[in-house]
Chains A and B, each alone.
Chain A
Amino acid sequence: SSGSSVNIHASYLLMSVLHRNEDLREMLESTKESLKLEAMKRIVGLIARGKNASELFPAVVKNVASKNIELKKLVYVYLVRYAEEQQDLALLSISTFQRALKDPNQLIRASALRVLSSIRVPIIVPIMMLAIKEAATDLSPYVRKTAAHAIQKLYSLDADQKEQLIEVIEKLLKDKSTLVAGSVVMAFEEVCPDRIDLIHKNYRKLCNLLVDVEEWGQVVIISMLTRYARTQFISPWKEDGIFDENSEQAFYESDEEKLGTPQSKPYIMDPDHRLLLRNTKPLLQSRNTAVVMSVAQLYWHLAPKQEVGVITKSLVRLLRSHREVQYIVLQNIATMSIQQKGIFEPFMKSFYVRSTDPTHIKTLKLEILTNLANEANISTILREFQTYVKSQDKAFAAATIQAIGRCATNITDVTDTCLNGLVLLLSNRDETVVAESVVVIKKLLQTQPTQHSEIIKHMAKLFDNITVPMARASILWLIGEYCERVPKIAPDVLRKMAKTFTVEEDIVKLQTVNLAAKLYLTNSKQTKLLTQYILNLGKYDQSYDIRDRTRFIRQLIVPNEKSGALSKYARRILLASKPAPMLESTFKDRDRFQLGTLSHTINSKATGYLELSDWPTAAPDSSVRNVEVMEPVKKEISWTFGAASECHVKEWVPSMGKTKPLKSDDKFYSDSGEEEGAGEEGTGSSSEDSSSSSSSSSSNEESDSESEDKNSKHSEETDSSQSDKSSGHSDKKKADKKKRLQLKKKAKKAAPKERYQMHRPPTHHPLTQELWNLRTFTPKMVSSPVFVPMSSHELLHRMTGKGLAAQYHFPRQPCIYGNKMVSVQLTLTNSSDHTLEDISIGEKTSSGQNIHRFSSIERLEPGASVTVSMGIDFNDSTQAANFQLCTKEDQFSVSIQPVVGELFLPVTMTEQDFRKEQGKLQGMNETSATITMAPENTSNQALSKKMVSVANMGVVPTGEDSLYRFAAKSVSSGDLVLVSVDLTDSSSGRLTINTEKTVIGSMLLRDLKTALAQP
């Protein structure tokens, strides 16, 4: 009857479940959105609790195309959870996602791909593959990121797709978006971690992007790069493995390549190796503990030993975090502190144990303190240990005793102190403490048994009170081993053991047999009977281990006709002097695993663990990492009304070396490696300002390409054009014209190539030619400024400057000192009555911008003025550059605050290109506003003039009347800034700005809007 009642009960439950789900089904099939939503929420509740809701699949899947976003999302949750079980029905939803993959909104495309790839239904593998391939070439980096995630999902669903997926990975690895980098490296690690060759060309880019990648991606990339570096660079560690820990300070101050200390063959670090170390170091300051740990392990595995010290502070900082974080970090420090005590020793107090720490944290801290112990600090550590021994947490107290034992063996000075301390602990009331002390004392005594018969006697006395088997066994072993030193006590102990033998633990029994055997050999007169008694007890023991041992011992020590030659050696076998045990850290060999990994934590190889290879003995070819890059800027002519108004101020190009002859040239041109251009400038510049300054920068670039890759047709052409140009003063204009024509033609051909050079600072956005992203192919030509405003701004008033007055002015020329700099002209006037000497810019700048100083002016006569040019990298922000203007006697703090319009360089492009670029900079990257214009500005000419006076932009030719377009790129990052004005009527219109630099975009919008409203 009870069975039937259970049945009834069960069926009732089943009914109620069915009933409830019936309820939900009805709600889902209703026409009311709110009811559907309510039903889905309850279903998600079921899923969350682990209840089965799979039979609702048909009703749920119908809502997959719902307009209500929350409903749709909940349906996705459901679909992903149950699609695997209901494959046929799941297929019904696929077409919805396929449609969404074509949606113009990138976020909808991304979300569709995300769900589609999460549905684990093997039949749709081809559809997924197609979707991934398509998404990998999507214009939106967010969609490409989703594609990278989908790669792993597809791979786990069908590993046969590996080859095709690797192709997609290869393509995505070339992506320069920070959004994609982390995800694609993750896919790489999952699908083809052995294809190191795919990384070569992307290595430098990944290093450079790293700081801007989101934090989770950083962890993955750093871990991959660690493995990569171990296969590609040679060891920075010295052969003998000894290093001077004190020298670390001097070493990590500098980021430059370092030579090891003089050896037969000095070690020179590969610049790429250094690049990785340099670019990861700032991430030690990340708030994400996983990022900090991954940088720490990178330094541990890759940096020269002297530089590893930089990670300590950050690791110690992590100890303030949650207990789980502490646990992992302490484990890693424990492993590190065995090999390099020195780096953690200054932080010893950070490892002091608090009574509130969980036990596993306490024991790890103890481990580290023990590792850090040395002659100098041992007394401090032992004092600290004394507190720990008294802890209420007995497991921890026991661990402390072991730690004391380790200190005692490692540092011979304190062995006696420790031993005495441990003997005192033998009278402790707590059994675990006593037992642990016995065990540790046993180990210690083994190292120096001669002086310690007193301690053995003391332990023998305590024997009756000790109940912990391990401790009893240890005492028995000690007495047996040194029975000749305690000849009176040993037989008595054996006598007592004979009484209690049957009730002892196995481990104690074994040691009793052992003791009996040893005593029989040394003192058979007193112990013969006892031994036989014990051997008899052992013979019939329940444990076969003990029976075996007993039988063996009997044969060994009691000679009879059956026992072979072995009994002759019984004494030598049993009473051989035994080597003292080494008390070692449990973290001794953990460094066979890469630090920071799961395998390191669990101390065994986890599934999917990738070995860190040993350093190669000879460095593999480092040129595999060289990347062909497209030359980013090319020069074109100015073609509008602005040409006439260019620079009237006499330019004093410092490279002419009027003040400091030739010596300074090297310094100025060391970046571009150009010599020729400097000489050439000397001939042409002063008379023809505009063309000289334009040619100066163009020749600058040309010689760049010239100095490197002469194979390309293009550079040959530039060579010729250059020789044309320098042929003579009179021909110059003609030559220029010719050159412009050539350049125009060339621009439409393939872009010029340039070898990526190592000593160059890597550009932030390396324009890799192979980049599939079309964007880099579009012509982005920097042109001469359309208009150069005459207004100059005061930098230093003559009153504050004690006679030195300075004004600055933006000549709107590409800066010759660096392609990220804005060129600035300073006019310095001496309005005092004495000669000013040594006018220069001070070494210190307070605002962090990279400033190229003008070379110092030796003398400035009273009343004279001089114009010099300098370059400032404003880093695409309007933050003021602060620096010091120095004379021989004085220093004046000055600052240059650029208006946003000066942070650009004009770009010429066709209308078509403009539209294409604009199409890529939609959404977030677009800002627009309605504008009202002063009547004066509405004419074609006036509007353009107004626009280009506010910002240094190029005019884009347009076919439409009421539409005006302007293009520029930001000086520092080279991002495009596209401005369009669409006039709706004579006095109002819409101003739109498209740029990735949203901040400067909105600032520009504001400035333009104000300017246009003013007459």
Chain B
Amino acid sequence: MIHSLFLVNSSGDIFLEKHWKSVVSRSVCDYFFEAQERASEPENVPPVIPTPHHYLISVLRHRIYFVAVIQSEVPPLFVIEFLHRVVDTFQDYFGLCTEAAIKDNVVVVYELLEEMLDNGFPLATESNILKELIKPPTILRTVVNTITGSTNVGEQLPTGQLSVVPWRRTGVKYTNNEAYFDVVEEIDAIIDKSGSTITAEIQGVIDACVKLTGMPDLTLSFMNPRLLDDVSFHPCVRFKRWEAERILSFIPPDGNFRLLSYHVSSQNLVAIPVYVKHNITFREGSSQGRFELTLGPKQTMGKAVESVLVSSQLPRGVLNANLNASQGTYTFDPVTKLLTWDVGKINPQKLPSLKGSMSLQAGASKPDENPTIIIQFKIQQMAISGLKVNRLDMYGEKYKPFKGIKYMTKAGKFQVRT
């Protein structure tokens, strides 16, 4: 399936290659570079590029292209999904997946890639199994390894691969048994010029951090499971029980994992927790434009809107922006024309605003389109859909675990057209 993998950085250099079958010359990437040159933005490189003898399927993450070389028919999503798993694994192992991190850990990277694919077919992609095989590097371990000559490769063989619950290690032991669940919801919305909602939907995930001894069998139930319109599960979740009772029943993987992602039925009205008042104008023949922006909270059930960040791609004709922020700081990059305003927390008594003027290229005509405003924010202790976990029970083990559930709402792709 996957023949070879090339890692290409943003300046177009191949900095790592790995082959699972016969070696494919790196010149195959020339087709990729051509496509890269044609693309105006890095994201515009097509994910699938046919060449005379191969097909190149790539993903772009952290400004690195992961280019897989394919020789024959394979579902493209199969490859794409796998490549993203590779990136996730690197991120999991090295904290961040940058060119430097990969170069520094090239041996671990190679060992991981070797375990993840056999003859181009995915073999071990579960993080629990991989961590049994290859221990993630830590500063301490690196030091110890240098002194004692011991290795990162697990001495134990990956028993998890043989088990009926391949996602869980065996013989897990903790002194503090704890299970934390984060319900994180994101609002995707497009708001039009007049402030009315064009489309808004809520996507949520439940991320878990479970550190429990032995083989616990957990069930998690919701007060209002009907809210969940469409769900996708970690493989540990027993689908039949969900279908019958709307209860999540599972033997959890050890450590961090995404238990569930869901979509809240689009029929439900989505509460939009912020509003934006804006007045962005350009006048024909004038080299000045006005910029006014005010943010305010609404429908937040008394919770504070925090970590607000506003960004906007201003039209090409804008030379500079001379603005005044009532709170927080703003930056304008005259090269990329990107305006960002780090607002922080919204105080309902004193609404944050950003006002001032923009200077335009002399003689340039008025831009056609007003810029789109992209807003990011967080609201703690609230799931905007109203989803509530009812209870979490544990079976199969005798001890009493410590349980915790946290809610958070964030902006997903939240855009305001002006």
Contacts and interface: CB of A to CB of B under 8 A. Distances in A.
Given A285-B239, A609-B73, A216 B78 contact: yes
Contacts of B215: 998-999, 1002
A349 B266 contact: yes
B46 interface: yes
B107 A41 contact: yes
A392 B316 contact: yes
Given A37-B151, A325-B81, A847-B245, A313 B230 contact: yes
Given A70-B151, A285-B233, A120 B106 contact: no
Contacts of A429: 365, 368
A359 to B, nearest CB: 5
A51 to B, nearest CB: 10
Contacts of B28: none
Contact of B119 (A34, A149, A214, A349): A149
Contacts of B76: 328, 596-598, 601
Interface stretch (A241-249, A290-298, A463-471): A290-298
B401 interface: no
A997 B165 CA distance: 10
Given A349-B266, A596-B75, A391 B369 contact: yes
A355 interface: yes
Contacts, number: 271
A288 B232 CA distance: 9
A360 B119 CA distance: 32
Consensus secondary structure, chain A interface: helix
B372 A846 contact: no
B368 A387 contact: no
B344 to A, nearest CB: 23
Contact of A598 (B75, B123, B217, B372): B75
Interface residues of A, number: 111
B230 A314 contact: yes
Main secondary structure, interface of B, reads mixed
B313 interface: yes
Interface string A280-306: 001001111110111000000000000
Interface in A53-85: 68-71, 73-74, 76-77, 81, 84
B153 A293 contact: no
B163 interface: yes
A324 B258 contact: no
Interface string A354-388: 11101110000000000000000000000010010
Contacts of B269: none
Interface in B103-155: 106-107, 109-111, 114, 118-119, 121-123, 125, 149, 151-155
**Candidate in B22, B119, B417 with the most chain A CB atoms within 10 angstroms:** B119
A1002 B77 contact: no
Given A355-B415, A430-B368, A608 B72 contact: yes
Interface residues of B, number: 110
Given A45-B107, A317-B263, A999 B14 contact: no
- Residue among A118, A216, A387, A923 with the most chain B CB within 10 A? A216
Contacts of A390: 368-369
A120 B121 contact: no
A287 B232 contact: yes
A434 interface: no
A437 interface: no
Contacts of A329: 77
A974 to B, nearest CB: 14
Interface stretch (B89-97, B197-205, B351-359): B197-205
Contacts of B151: 37, 68-71
Nearest to B190: A352
Interface of A: 33-34, 37, 41, 44-45, 47-50, 68-71, 73-74, 76-77, 81, 84, 105-108, 114, 117-118, 120, 140-142, 146, 149, 152-153, 156, 179, 183, 186, 211, 214-216, 219, 223, 282, 285-290, 292-294, 313-314, 316-317, 320, 322-325, 327-329, 347, 349-350, 352, 354-356, 358-360, 384, 387, 390-392, 428-430, 596-599, 601-602, 604, 606-610, 846-848, 877-879, 923-924, 996-999, 1002-1003
23 contacts: A33-B149, A69-B154, A70-B111, A77-B111, A81-B23, A108-B157, A118-B119, A120-B22, A219-B78, A285-B232, A286-B235, A290-B77, A317-B263, A322-B59, A327-B48, A360-B44, A430-B368, A598-B48, A598-B74, A848-B247, A879-B395, A998-B165, A998-B170
Given A156-B21, A322-B84, 8 more contacts: A73-B111, A352-B198, A355-B372, A358-B43, A598-B75, A847-B245, A848-B247, A998-B170
